Amino acid sequence: MTRLVASILCGVVALIGCAGTASAMTIEKIVSPSGIEAWLVREKAVPLVTLNYAFHGGATQDGADKAGTANLAADLLDEGAGNLDSKAYHERLENHAIELGFQVGRDYIHGSLRTLNEHRDEAFDLLRLALSSPRFDADAVERVRGQQLAALQRDTTNPNDLASRRWWQTAFPGHPYGRETKGTLETVPRITAADLRDYVRRVFARNELKVSIVGDVDAKTAGALIDRAFGGLPAKNDLKAVANATPSGLGRRIVINVDVPQAVVTFGGLGIARHDPDFMAAYIVNHILGGGSFSSRLYREVREKRGLAYGVSDSLVWFRSAAVVLGGTATRADRTADALAVIEHEIKRMADEGPTPEELAAAKSFLKGSYALTLDTSGKIAVQLTQIQIDNLGIDYIQRRGAMIDAVTIEDAKRVARRLYGGGMLVTVAGRPKGLTSSETTE
């Protein structure tokens, strides 16, 4: 493990240098012998291979009465596979310093692998077993289920979770996006090993697989490694259709009564799809309003000028079948109404007036200059390349991105600000906010 850490640190230093000129990074499109397409960045200075991939079919594939199936399956993929039980599987990972991870989103299940070159065959074999032959042994299932239920029980008094969960339930009632990826205290106990196997069978397939690989590996070797992990999977997935949706409840405010010192506020509305021609303008406008952390209007007005909250932000969130703008803050119960009034005022001001030319110029400069920080390690590069593939932006997106930002005019920004923020917001508040009126209160 010490050797892996040392190699990773060397890799960070090396990759910072190459990411400083992100446009110079060479991305190769390769096709494995079995026909799996992937993107490859060769980095000979680092004796590592980093893999990132995504299968279409995340938590949207859960049954309504068994929400959390994808999440439970992902947590169990490294708890035994093939002829290796959980203990043996983890010993193989640890003995070879192999890092393996799985994460479930609403539309996709993402995976990552990082290994020293000398152990790459072992690493890709272990990944193959996890994806194609997970065991889902009863003892492992119940142990991991118990951990998840304990976390869900804690969430019942967590204001952040309560505000977020209620926002999604209200925005997308009856839709898969309205369900929590983690499931609930009612649904997780219903999930069986057969459900987990069915999820893996339907989702893990080659046809909508997105793969990125970064490291000291050539195209031929990368193709062989990709087939080693994914080549034996079914050719085609078997997914449930997910209907297009737009957020409901805009203009509503919902207060969830929970006895905590601070109140947590979640606010959001209709967003802009990633493939929409207005997306880049919306991305810049959102950065100016609330996405720019310490430089945004919301941060300046809520935190710096009034001291109403430690932090406040919003961001664009896009899925295959919906898009939202979503933000949040936490503040003292007796100042929640004040903080929310400032947030709503700034949202309305942005919709009515748009950004200033000075704000637009500063945002463009920051968004272009800071992009290299998302490409300063092999892991970050692999994640970015997978997301670019998911969003179907093209292999030359990194080179084109700066010009796309520069092309946004002040007229574009003002028009898109009205489109993005002019439709009202759904607001959920968890806590005991004083002096805050609401259209609905729940106990």
- Sorted by where each begins, the domain ranges of the chain are 2-230, 253-442
pLDDT at 294: 84
pTM more than 0.85:
yes
pLDDT at 206: 97
- For the domain made up of 253-442, the CATH class stated in words is alpha beta
Encoded tokens for 417: 């600000």
The span from the CA of 317 to the CA of 264, in Å, is 19
pLDDT at 44: 87
136 Rama class: left (phi>0) / alpha (psi -120 to 50) / beta: left
Please report how many Cα atoms fall inside a 13 Å half-sphere around the Cα of residue 417, on the Cβ side.
26
The segments of the chain whose pLDDT lies below 70 read: 1-24, 437-438, 440-443
pLDDT at 15: 45
Asked whether this chain's domains 2-230 and 253-442 adopt the same fold, the reply is yes
Phi and psi torsions of 112, nearest 5°:
-145, 155
pLDDT at 8: 44
Phi and psi torsions of 325, nearest 5°:
-110, 130
- For the domain made up of 2-230, the CATH class stated in words is alpha beta
Question: Residue 181: which of 160, 164, 203 has the closest Cα?
Answer: 164
Grouping H, G, I as helix, E, B as strand and the rest as coil, residue 211 is strand
C-beta of residue 389 within 8 angstroms of C-beta of residue 210: yes
pLDDT at 200: 98
pLDDT at 7: 44
- Contacts for 16-21 with beta carbons within 8 Å, 24 or more apart? 16/376, 16/377, 18/43, 19/372, 19/373, 19/375, 19/376, 19/381, 20/372, 21/372
Encoded tokens for 199: 């999820």
- Specify which residues 116 forms β-bridges with: 48
245 Rama class: left (phi>0) / alpha (psi -120 to 50) / beta: beta
